[in-house]
Amino acid sequence: MSTLEADAMREITYCDALREALREEMLRDDRVFLLGEDVGKHWHGAFKVSRGLAEEFGEERVRDTPISESAIVGAAIGAAITGMRPIAEIMFGDLSTLAMDQIANQAAKIRYMFGGQTAVPMVVRMPFGAGASVAAHHSQSLEAWFMHVPGLLVAVPSTPYDAKGLLKTAIRNDNPVMFFEHKLLYGMKGSVPEDEYLVPFGEADVKRSGKDVTIVATLFMVHKALAAAEALAKDGVSVEVIDPRTLTPLDTETIVNSVKKTGRVVIVTEGCRTAGVGAEVAAILAEEAIDYLDAPIKRVAEPDTPIPFSPVLENFVIPDEKKIIKAVKDVL
């Protein structure tokens, strides 16, 4: 990185990066507006991502809604197909289940069923993930559900840089985007340019290069995978860590090429193991890279159980560095 490039970077939180993306896109395009429970000036959203936006843009463009996820997403769909670019916030992503008809049967299908005569340019932002001791109804990772629905795009940023760049790309996209934000990432700091930039969908990022084993990880698990890779390096094991950044579209080329190079792969995700993101990635590798694999594919994920409220039990079910290191040693 040049001195000029370094000077243009600063350290900000994941939360602030998202807020910057929202503000910049609202300034750029007056069709962009926010809606959701308590996103306005009295509360600024459950995780304060929309702080200050209602004061700057007014209550017409930062709209508090009733406590009804189906109404939030339904209103966003209606606004999108009539020319607006809504960003709907679901206070906890688990509650997207209350709007599944609107998401899976309406937003995802309208463009197809109308033969492309209308689009649904909307973003649904959702805090997800475990680790905060908020129990089974507020701790799930359901991104695999939305991968299964044709017509939806799925973004899973793990860093402030990716959060800002992907959110700006999502807002400008003419398709519905499910935008997953791990709640433990909001306070994490990272380098973000001051200048305008976008992160394209469908381009994975190699967070760490290596030659012995590939780890494919998403969201908060990316940071645990990087910590595990650092620990393994002390034992002489060179680990490559790949962050897909979006699950739909999924950059299979980068993942497959990495596995062709290393011959071994561990997939780390926070959702339940059965029919999860890891299962889909494993299936792709079995179809496209089986001749290059020197060991069975390993998945590290949560067991098929609701997330416990007890911190001790919650920490037991969440994948951690020890479990990732064990999986890497198993494939070696």
Tens digits of per-residue pLDDT, 172-231?
A: 999 999 999 999 999 999 999 999 999 999 999 999 999 999 999 999 999 999 999 999
Secondary structure of residue 69 in the 3-state scheme: helix
Q: What pLDDT is recorded for position 8?
A: 67
The structure tokens listed for 330 are 């198993």
Query: pLDDT averaged over the chain?
Result: 95
Taking the CA atoms of residue 184, residue 146, residue 68 and residue 169 in that order, the dihedral angle to the nearest 10 degrees is 70
Where in the chain is CATH 3.40.50.920?
A: 205-331
The structure tokens listed for 112 are 């197809």
Which CATH number applies to 8-193: 3.40.1170.10, 3.40.190.10, 3.40.50.970, 3.30.70.980?
Answer: 3.40.50.970
What strands lie across the sheet with 205-208, from one edge to the other? 205-208, 239-243, 213-217, 265-272, 298-302
Which architecture characterizes domain 205-331 according to CATH?
3-Layer(aba) Sandwich (3.40)
Contact predicate 109/138, CB 8 Å: no
Where in the chain is CATH 3.40.50.970?
A: 8-193
Cβ neighbours of residue 6 closer than 8 Å, sequence gap 6 or more: none
Give the gyration radius of the chain's Cα atoms: 20
What residues does 11 pair with on adjacent strands?
Answer: 191
User: Which band of pLDDT confidence, cut at 50, 70 and 90, is reported for residue 292?
Assistant: very high
pLDDT at 129 over 90: yes
pLDDT at 240 over 60: yes
Residue position matching structure tokens 């999924």: 250
Which residues are identified as catalytic? 138
Q: Give, as one character, the DSSP assignment of residue 269.
A: E
pLDDT tens profile 80-120: 999 999 999 999 999 999 999 999 999 999 999 999 999 99
User: 127-141, 203-217, 278-292 — which is least confidently predicted?
Assistant: 127-141
pTM, to two decimals: 0.95
